[in-house]
Structure 1
Amino acid sequence: MAEAEKFMGSDNVEDILTKIENKSLKIESLIKPYKPIEAIKTALEGYPPQDEQCKFANWIGVRKALMAIKDVVGILRSLNPQYYDILMKYVYRGLSTGDRTTCDQCLKIHEKLTEKAGFGCILRSLADTVNTI
């Protein structure tokens, strides 16, 4: 997760937003040929800094990757367990939007992710107050 270090290493919001925009473009380029595993891995790499503008910009890219998932079970089977907790954090972020389409997709992911990763994944994602998204 070297991307996290890139985000954290820069204090300039404009530099961080540029990196997030590049990441978002990469996610889009992976979604078009339907490479959902690569898109979701790219989306989940690196936490943005605590700046709300950066968090929101990062969420836009992650949401694109989440909404492109058609086979949730297949994605989770292919995804490294190190990503489960952060994925759960983004699922809760999606549920908090109130957007019906986003919430429906996030509920599907939540169900399958809980089956795969267990209830500990939920607890860890809610209890982690340092790495907020």
Structure 2
Amino acid sequence: MAATEGFVEADNAEAIITRIEHKSRKIETLLKQYKTVEALKTALEGSPPNTKDERCKSANWIVVHRALMAIKDLDALFSSLDPEYYDILMKYLYRGLSTGDRPTCDQCLRIHEKLTEKAGLGCILRSLADTVNTV
């Protein structure tokens, strides 16, 4: 039975990867139209993938990272980003900081500062305390 459960998870992972690939194409289209805030919203929708499969998490991170790095106007971002996205965005910011990549870290710190101003310290605590929805 354990082998069957692993197989179901693998099928589920493939379905999630397919959805992430579709989301990636949509985000690239939005970025080409200079709709960076919409691209980030799209990237955050349905995140994190409800799986323990690292391939899915990595694939989703790549999509979110692409949208994060395109954001230039933070005021426009937070004037149109719904508060429901704040906690998940914070999780991805910490994932970005953990990469050690200088441009990624710089961008994540810029967004982190504004997000903390907008959402408060509770956003940080919720993102760190949530062990179920890992990115």
TM-score by length of 2: 0.88
Residue segments in structure 1 that go unaligned for 5+ positions in a row: 1-9
- Map of 1:31-42 to 2, 5 A cutoff? 31-42=31-42
Shift of 1:28: 0.9
Residue identity opposite 1:32 in structure 2: K
Residue 69 of structure 2 corresponds to 67
For normalisation by structure 1, the TM-score amounts to 0.90
1:91 aligned to 90, 93, 97, which one? 93
Report the number of matched residues. 124
User: What aligned pairs does 1:14-53 form with structure 2 within 5 A after superposition?
Assistant: 14-46=14-46, 47-48=48-49, 49-53=51-55
Q: Tell me what 1:109 maps to.
A: 111
Question: How far 1:14 moved relative to its partner?
Answer: 1.7
RMSD over equivalenced CA pairs, Å:
1.1
**Structure with max Cα Rg:** 2
User: Structure 1 stretches (4+) deviating beyond 2 angstroms?
Assistant: none
The reply on whether 1:130 has 2:119 as its aligned counterpart is no
Q: Distance in 1 between matches of 2:128 and 2:102?
A: 22
**What is the letter of the counterpart of residue 99 of structure 1?**
D
Structure 2: 5+ residue stretches without partners:
1-7
Instruction: State the secondary structure of the residue aligned to 1:96.
Output: helix
Looking at structure 2, the residues matched to 74 and 17 of structure 1 have their Cα atoms a distance apart, in angstroms, of 30
CA distance in structure 2 between the aligned counterparts of 1:81 and 1:14, rounded to whole angstroms: 30
Q: How far, CA to CA, are the matches of 1:83 and 1:35 in structure 2?
A: 17
Distance 1:30 1:50 in 2: 29
**Cα distance in 1, alignment partners of residues 26 and 93 from structure 2:** 21
Structure-2 separation of matches of 1:77 and 1:84: 12
Residue of structure 1 equivalent to 2:5: none
2:69 and 2:101 mapped to 1: Cα distance?
12
